[in-house]
Structure 1
Amino acid sequence: MAEPLPPTRRNRASLTYKVRYAAQNPDRIKSYLARVARDLRFRLSSRDHVAYYRAVMKSDTAKNPEAAVGSRSHGRWLALGQMQFDYLRKHGLKPDDRMLEIGCGNLRAGWRFIDYLDPGNYYGIDISPDILLAAQNTLVRQELREKLPHLTLVNDLKLRFLPSGHFSVVHAHSVFSHSPLDVIDECLAHVGRVLAPDGFFDFTFDRTEGTEHHVLREDFYYRTETLISLAERHGFAARFMDDWEELPHGQSKIRVTHPA
């Protein structure tokens, strides 16, 4: 999933922003117009946002699986995965934790979690069959077959097939940044059931301090208070993770837990 720009008040969906950006970056006009054409084609052929973004991932993964999850280079793919892993280790991730990664992609961070966790303790889900095939290649390349990770294709974020109270850590990096509010609401409505009583759910998002908006229904920008309020309406305690802001990644993070 695509790597975001830093939090800002700019509305990237506005005509003013688009004209100014085109004037400053004429070399990117052709690629943007190609995205616009793809967006129109996928909108006409997709019944909902999951089907739409599955088509986006199929298109992007065919070109480069690492770029499809938002990494400009293999080095950046490795660095972003390491950053996610180090952050959760710092926040107490232990080998016996049972982890659910929503939007596991091609295991940019997932292979590190799999390697660290006890066998069978990693469960990755994604809406894209193409990126999950790429994830299998990552497992083979990193020689992690014996860790018995679970990789599962899903069509929504209701998590109906997963056991209640099972996961002590739930993680979603750069998933809500590509999701309309109804998809985020669906996830928050159901993730509490599978989250252990003392567990936590970390998710990143593209933060704006101005008008909430989306660009081609691929990139969504939310205010922090919108997502915290939504989490609280589903019975969670939610807090903005300030220490995550110190890292060079471009997204913001919120952690939700069951109330004490």
Structure 2
Amino acid sequence: MENQYIDKELAAERLRTGQHRAFVGGRWDEIGQLQFDYMVGKGLAPTDRFVDVACGSMRGGRHFIGHLNPFHYFGFDINRALIDAGLTHEIAPLGLLDKIAPGNLVAAEAFAFPTSWRDMDSALALSLFTHLTMNSIALCLRNLRPVMSDGARFYATIFHVSEDNQTARQEQLDGIVTYMCQDPYHYTRGDMDYLAGKTGWRVVDIETFNHPRGQSMVIFETA
């Protein structure tokens, strides 16, 4: 199994005991606010159509839904139970359910984004690529490209390492250790350039991102 988030039985058990916040990695308030502030700083406007890739139980979604115009938030995840937990425990208490269209929250395998999703302005994947192999990242990039408008940007966090350090285990912040061939993964700029070039994107930059575990932000733009 590539990572724990694919294990729906594990997720269901933890969600039954009210652990939807802990399941997506903890630091709920801190990281939820961090990703929202970052995207607003990049110009995310209420009128934008925004895709939250691996939206989970709405750690970031609760902020984005409140900010965006009705029906402009689109959430995608492999695990429907996490989405439902977020709707029940996070979005409903904030009175935001009426800002989400029925087809805007989708759970599917293999990054099978709905064919009805088109002309999105921006997308974000926070702490997703850190758990994925290069082939899975390529699949995500390839399948997301038709969803996005020309010139759109996709922001995704990775553990970024130099080419010289790629094969060795790397100690990150907050006690995290990353690997080339084991979850959690780290990647180089060359890895990202290669994947982008194969899937209809280009890498604009890899930025320092004030993530408490030391993740960096890759900025992809449609090519």
Output the TM-score relative to the length of structure 1: 0.71
Residues 1:161 and 1:127: Cα distance change in structure 2 (over 3 Å): same
Residues 1:115 and 1:133: Cα distance change in structure 2 (over 3 Å): same
User: Using the alignment, how far apart are the partners of 1:62 and 1:222 within structure 2?
Assistant: 35
Aligned to 1:180: 133
Write the letter of the residue equivalent to 1:192.
R
Greater strand proportion? 2
Aligned to 2:122: 169
Deviations 1:141-183 (A, max 9, x none): 221112125221111213243333x210111111111112221
> Which stretches in structure 1 are left out of the alignment for 5+ residues?
1-42, 44-48
User: Using the alignment, how far apart are the partners of 1:162 and 1:183 within structure 2?
Assistant: 22
- The structure with the largest alpha-carbon Rg is 1
User: Using the alignment, how far apart are the partners of 1:82 and 1:121 within structure 2?
Assistant: 19
3-state SS of 1:255 partner: strand
Q: Mapping of 1:87-102 within 5 angstroms?
A: 87-102=38-53
Deviations 1:66-124 (A, max 9, x none): 111101xxxx3011111000001111000000011110011101110000000000010
User: Using the alignment, how far apart are the partners of 2:5 and 2:58 within structure 1?
Assistant: 22
Write the letter of the residue equivalent to 1:229.
Y
Asked if the contact 1:200/1:257 (under 8 Å) is kept, the reply is: yes
3-state SS of 1:196 partner: strand
What is the deviation of 1:253?
A: 1.3
Aligned to 1:228: 193
Q: Mapping of 1:76-225 within 5 angstroms?
A: 76-137=27-88, 138-149=90-101, 150-164=104-118, 166-208=119-161, 209-211=165-167, 212-215=180-183, 219-225=184-190
Residues 1:50 and 1:177: Cα distance change in structure 2 (over 3 Å): closer
3-state SS of 1:213 partner: coil
User: Using the alignment, how far apart are the partners of 1:140 and 1:85 within structure 2?
Assistant: 19
User: Using the alignment, how far apart are the partners of 1:108 and 1:98 within structure 2?
Assistant: 18
Aligned to 2:219: 255
Asked if the contact 1:158/1:186 (under 8 Å) is kept, the reply is: no
Aligned to 2:172: none
3-state SS of 1:108 partner: coil
User: Using the alignment, how far apart are the partners of 2:30 and 2:5 within structure 1?
Assistant: 29
User: Using the alignment, how far apart are the partners of 1:158 and 1:58 within structure 2?
Assistant: 22
Aligned length: 203
User: Using the alignment, how far apart are the partners of 1:155 and 1:235 within structure 2?
Assistant: 21
3-state SS of 2:156 partner: strand
User: Using the alignment, how far apart are the partners of 2:4 and 2:154 within structure 1?
Assistant: 25
RMSD of aligned alpha carbons? 2.2
User: Using the alignment, how far apart are the partners of 2:98 and 2:53 within structure 1?
Assistant: 22
What is the deviation of 1:184?
A: 0.9
Comparing 148-157 with 100-109, which one deviates more in the overlay?
A: 148-157
Write the letter of the residue equivalent to 2:188.
R
Aligned to 2:173: none
Identity %: 26
> Which stretches in structure 2 are left out of the alignment for 5+ residues?
168-179
Residues 1:52 and 1:141: Cα distance change in structure 2 (over 3 Å): closer
Output the TM-score relative to the length of structure 2: 0.82
